[in-house]
Amino acid sequence: MALISWLSSGPRSTHTLSASRVGRIATGAAALVACALALGAAPAPAKPVAPDGAAAPRPASGTPILVGHYASLTGPEATFGQSTSEGIRLALKEINASGGIGGRPIELREYDTKGEPKEATLAVTRLVKSDNVVAVLGEVASGLSLAGAPVCQSAGVPMISPSSTNVRVTKVGDMIFRVCFIDPFQGSACAKFATNELKAKTAAILYDQKAPYSEGLAKEFKRAFKKLGGEIVSELTYTGGDGDFTTQLTSIRSRKPDVLFIPGYYTDVGNIALQVRKLGITCPMLGGDGWDSEKLAEVAGKAIEGSFYSNHYAPDQPDEQVRIFIEKYRADYKGKTPDGLAALGYDAAMILADSLKRAGSTDGKKLRDAIAATKDYKGVTGMITIDANRDAIKSAVIVEMKGTPLGPKYRSTISP
């Protein structure tokens, strides 16, 4: 935890808190530090950190900078939030161990959205209104980011979604960013893969009509696949949490598609895959990043073998930075292999820290400008430059579910 380090006796750089930020500094030594700081004075710029390569940096020991995270830590998309949280914590541990932001550690305040939009709005409201965080990380699912983003926007607190890919998310306003690619690109990456690698001429689509992510990605895939000369022979829907897909799948079976595109989240996709194979549909299934969870193989088992999805990173991708990240993550999380969410959580937290340093301030507008100026940041998930729409333009990888233990294996990279 970030708080531990700042009780140490090491030198502390002096920082000024804006009055609104002081409210949350609570107990014991924290209160003393807060009092010692000039209440009500203008925020002072953060001290620069030791340059890279300097002798052992001092752990951060100043007044913590509070950052929020809202995430599905429980519910049908629980691994999304858990993995993201782990990636963020790993990044913050590294940042704080090497001096934090001008000597101040970043402290994380995190709330569970349970995968529900109402909870997402509540969580973000608590973060920005009660906790007075300087920035918010989250959500994963686009529908939940769409529920949280307006709160950040109207409070003037920058939000960075590590992984929401629906176009509408960053359109909420100029405080809303993401460090991942968007679905028009992801949909066309999947369509290209289906056409060029799977040699598919026909496709069926089965999507979640209640999830903005699923609905948007279905639309983008359809557009791109048709443009490449393919034909959509069936387009049907389900609602997240449904248990029986027989009606849709029986109809899809009769159309004999070359590929079945399912842009859903892993719990539903796992259940669908089981029924796809049970009904004797043998074509490959293809999906987007929403498949990315160790639970997919757990739920679907053999039924998902030989199917593909697009993602932000693959653990077995040939890349030195990826290899180092996996090593550090495994050391912290009992040998677990990080998924794409963990990698994006890590990158999002690193970019936020980098922006805080460049802004030299926790002021919402200054921080927003610094995030917007992010350029050629070499993350675990690739090179990240924030464009004029506050999105990141990046490559996607295609992975295949195979091997023992069954899991995603790197297949190819698709560049924008």
Contact positions vs ligand PHE (CB under 6 A): 80, 140-142, 163-166, 213, 289-290, 292, 340-341
CB 414, min distance to ligand PHE, A: 15
Residue 191 in tokens: 């369509």
**Kind of pairing between the strands at 396-402 and 407-414:** antiparallel
Nearer to ligand PHE, 242 or 369 (CB): 242
For the chain, first and last CA: distance in Å? Answer: 38
Q: Quick one: tokens of 216?
A: 């948007």
Distance CA 414, CA 416 (A): 7
Tell the smallest beta-carbon distance from residue 240 to ligand PHE (Å).
11
The single residue listed with the structure tokens 């697009």 is: 310
Both tokens of 129, joined, read 């209104």
Indicate the residue among 113 and 163 with the shorter CB distance to ligand PHE: 163
Return the number of the residue (86 or 258) whose C-beta is nearest ligand PHE: 86
| Residue sitting closest to ligand PHE (CB) | 213
Comparison of 257 and 287: residue with beta carbon closer to ligand PHE: 287
- CB of 10 vs ligand PHE, minimal distance in Å: 38
What would the two tokens of residue 307 be?
A: 């199917």
∠306-307-308 over CA atoms, to 5°?
Answer: 125
Which residue, 113 or 142, is less far from ligand PHE as judged by CB?
Answer: 142
Contact 122, 82 (CB under 8 A): no
| C-alpha torsion sign, points 294, 115, 252, 204 | negative
Nearest distance in Å: CB 166, ligand PHE: 5
DSSP 309: E
CB closer to ligand PHE, 79 vs 374? 79
User: Residue 113 CB, nearest distance to ligand PHE (Å)?
Assistant: 12
**Least distance (Å) from ligand PHE to the CB of residue 340?**
5
